[in-house]
C-alpha cells in the first residue's frame, strides 16, 4: 500500500516544478477559478485561454455576469460550445448576488447547489479558492487513479467517481488541498495523457503505479463504449443582399437553444427541392450557387451540411429570419461554430 508521502509529497514536489502558468492560477480569486473551471469542461486548456481573457475583460465581477444581456453573453461564449454552460453561469451569478452578497460561498454544499456546478466543479472551486478538504475528480483524475491503483471499475459510473474521490481523500494534505487537486489534474493532462502513450518516465508515481508495473496501461481506465452518434442532414441557406445577410434565431429548447444561425432545413435537398424552397420564399429570380459542405460533431449527433448561397437584389421580409450587416456577425450576433465554414464563405 502506498504511504501518504509517496503519493502527496512526491506529487506536490513534481507539481511545484512542472505546473503550467495559466491565467486563472495568477491568484485565488473564486470568481476567476469558477469561470475557468466551467470553460475547461469539454475544452482544451490552450483553446480556453483567449476566451477566458476576453470574458474577464468584459465581465470582471460576478455582478457584471449577473446583469449581462443574453446576446452579449452568447457572443462572449461563441465557439466554446455547450452554450447551456454560459446560461447556467449567469443564473448562478444572479443567485450569488441575491443570496451571498456577490461572493461565492466558501462551502462545498452551497457551491454544489448553484446552477451548473456539479461535484467536480464544487470540489475544484472549494479546494483551490478556499482550501476546503474536498476532492475534485474529473476525467484526468479518474484516469490517473485507475492506473495508479490498477482499478478496472467503469470510470463513467458515478459510483466509481465517488469511490475514487473518497479514497484519494486519505492522501490529501491538510495544508494544500487545492494544489493537490490541481496537481492530480495536471498529471492527467500532461503526463498520464488521455490519447496516446503516457509519459511514464516523467511521472512522480512511476514507482507505485500498478498499471505501469503490471503492464496494464493500455487496459486502463475502463469506460463504457459510447453509443454511435445519430447523423442528421441539413441544407444551409446563405441569403445575402449586398452587405446584409439573413439569420434565424433557434428556439429556447434543444440543441444550440436561443442562438443565431443561418436559415436551414433538416434534410439534404437536391436542385429541385432548392428551387421549390426558393419559390415558396419568393426568391424565384435570385442568383443561386453551391456554398460548400460542412460536418459538425456534437456529443450525440453529427450534422452533415450542404450550403446554398442565394444572392438577392432586395431583402425579402420574413418572420423566419432577420437581416443584419455581415460585419455584425463578428461583433454582435453569436453564431455556433457548427456554421463557421459557411461564415467564412461570405
Identify whether residues 20 and 140 lie together within a single domain: yes
Q: Which residues of 254-288 are buried (b: 16+ CB within 10 A; e: fewer)?
A: ebbebbbbbbbeeeebeeeebeebbeebebeebee
Crossing angle of the two packed helices 70-77 and 45-58, in degrees rounded to 10: 150
Identify whether residues 253 and 125 lie together within a single domain: no
Selection from 49, 82, 75, 71 nearest residue 330 by Cα? 75
Tell me the three cell numbers of residue 135: 476532492
Selection from 235, 280, 285, 281 nearest residue 262 by Cα? 235
Identify whether residues 51 and 188 lie together within a single domain: yes
Identify whether residues 67 and 136 lie together within a single domain: yes
Coil vs helix vs strand at 195: coil
322-335 mean pLDDT? 90
Identify whether residues 245 and 301 lie together within a single domain: yes
Radius of gyration of the chain (CA): 24
Calculate ∠ Cα 318-323-325, nearest 5°. 175
Identify whether residues 20 and 163 lie together within a single domain: yes
pLDDT at 15 over 50: yes
pLDDT of residue 40: 95
Report how far residue 51's alpha carbon sits from residue 300's, in angstroms, rounded to the nearest whole number: 25
> Does residue 225 lie in a domain region?
no
pTM: predicted TM-score of the whole model, two decimal places: 0.87
Identify whether residues 236 and 108 lie together within a single domain: no
Q: Is 81 left (phi over 0), alpha (psi -120 to 50) or beta?
A: left
Please check whether residue 210 is in contact with residue 149, taking contact to mean a CB–CB distance below 8 angstroms.
yes
Identify whether residues 181 and 52 lie together within a single domain: yes
Tell me the three cell numbers of residue 274: 432548392
Q: Is the peptide bond before 86 cis (omega within 30 degrees of 0)?
A: no
**How many structural domains comprise the chain?**
2
Identify whether residues 213 and 241 lie together within a single domain: no
CATH number of the domain within which 282 lies: 3.90.79.10
Identify whether residues 203 and 251 lie together within a single domain: no
Tell me the three cell numbers of residue 307: 450550403
Judge whether 26 counts as a catalytic residue. no
Please check whether residue 68 is in contact with residue 62, taking contact to mean a CB–CB distance below 8 angstroms.
no
Look up the domain containing 239 and give its range.
Answer: 230-345
Tens digits of per-residue pLDDT, 257-290? 889 999 999 999 999 999 999 999 989 888 999 9
Identify whether residues 180 and 51 lie together within a single domain: yes
Report how far residue 176's alpha carbon sits from residue 132's, in angstroms, rounded to the nearest whole number: 9
CATH number of the domain within which 163 lies: 1.10.340.30
Of the listed ranges 84-88, 249-253, 258-262, 308-312, the one predicted with least confidence: 249-253
pLDDT of residue 1: 42
Describe the chain by its helix, strand, coil percentages, rounded to 5. 45, 15, 40
Tell me the three cell numbers of residue 100: 451571498
> Does residue 224 lie in a domain region?
no
305-319 mean pLDDT? 91
Q: What is the DSSP string of 169-188?
A: HTT--TT-HHHHHHHHHHHH
Tens digits of per-residue pLDDT, 232-256? 999 999 999 999 999 999 988 888 8
Task: Point out the catalytic residue in the list 2, 37, 46, 232.
Answer: 37
Sort strands 301-311 and 287-297 into parallel, antiparallel or unpaired: antiparallel
- Look at residues 219, 251, 269 and tell me which one is the last residue of a structural domain: 219
Identify whether residues 45 and 139 lie together within a single domain: yes
Amino acid at each position: 500500500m502506498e504511504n501518504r508521502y509517496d503519493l502527496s509529497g512526491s506529487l506536490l514536489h513534481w507539481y511545484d516544478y512542472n505546473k503550467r502558468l495559466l491565467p486563472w492560477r495568477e491568484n485565488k480569486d473564486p470568481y476567476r477559478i469558477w469561470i475557468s473551471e466551467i470553460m475547461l469542461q469539454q475544452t482544451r486548456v490552450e483553446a480556453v485561454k483567449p476566451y477566458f481573457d476576453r470574458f474577464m475583460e468584459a465581465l470582471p465581477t460576478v455582478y457584471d455576469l449577473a446583469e449581462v444581456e443574453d446576446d452579449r453573453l452568447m457572443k462572449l461564449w461563441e465557439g466554446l460550445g455547450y452554450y447551456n454552460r454560459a446560461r447556467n453561469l449567469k443564473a448562478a451569478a444572479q443567485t450569488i448576488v441575491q443570496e451571498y452578497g456577490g461572493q461565492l460561498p466558501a462551502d462545498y454544499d452551497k457551491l454544489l447547489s448553484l446552477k451548473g456546478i456539479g461535484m467536480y466543479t464544487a470540489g475544484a472551486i472549494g479546494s483551490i479558492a478556499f482550501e476546503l478538504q474536498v476532492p475534485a475528480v474529473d476525467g484526468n483524475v479518474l484516469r490517473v487513479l485507475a492506473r495508479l491503483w490498477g482499478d478496472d471499475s467503469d470510470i463513467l459510473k458515478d459510483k466509481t467517481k465517488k469511490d475514487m474521490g473518497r479514497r484519494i481523500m486519505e492522501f490529501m494534505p491538510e495544508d494544500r488541498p487545492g494544489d493537490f487537486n490541481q496537481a492530480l489534474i495536471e498529471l492527467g493532462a500532461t503526463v498520464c495523457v488521455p490519447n496516446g502513450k503516457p509519459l511514464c518516465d516523467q511521472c512522480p508515481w512511476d514507482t507505485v503505479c500498478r498499471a505501469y508495473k503490471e503492464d496494464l496501461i493500455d487496459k486502463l481506465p475502463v469506460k463504457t463504449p459510447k453509443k454511435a452518434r445519430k447523423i442528421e442532414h441539413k441544407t444551409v441557406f446563405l441569403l445575402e443582399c449586398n452587405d446584409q445577410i439573413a439569420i434565424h434565431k433557434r428556439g429556447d429548447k434543444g440543441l444550440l437553444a436561443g442562438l443565431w444561425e443561418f436559415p436551414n432545413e433538416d434534410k439534404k435537398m437536391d436542385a429541385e427541392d432548392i428551387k421549390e424552397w426558393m419559390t415558396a420564399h419568393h426568391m424565384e429570380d435570385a442568383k443561386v450557387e453551391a456554398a460548400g459542405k460542412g460536418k459538425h460533431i456534437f456529443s450525440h449527433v453529427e450534422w452533415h451540411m450542404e450550403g446554398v448561397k442565394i444572392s438577392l437584389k432586395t431583402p425579402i421580409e420574413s418572420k423566419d429570419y432577420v437581416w443584419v450587416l455581415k460585419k455584425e456577425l463578428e461583433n454582435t450576433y453569436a453564431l455556433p461554430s457548427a456554421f463557421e465554414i459557411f461564415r467564412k464563405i461570405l
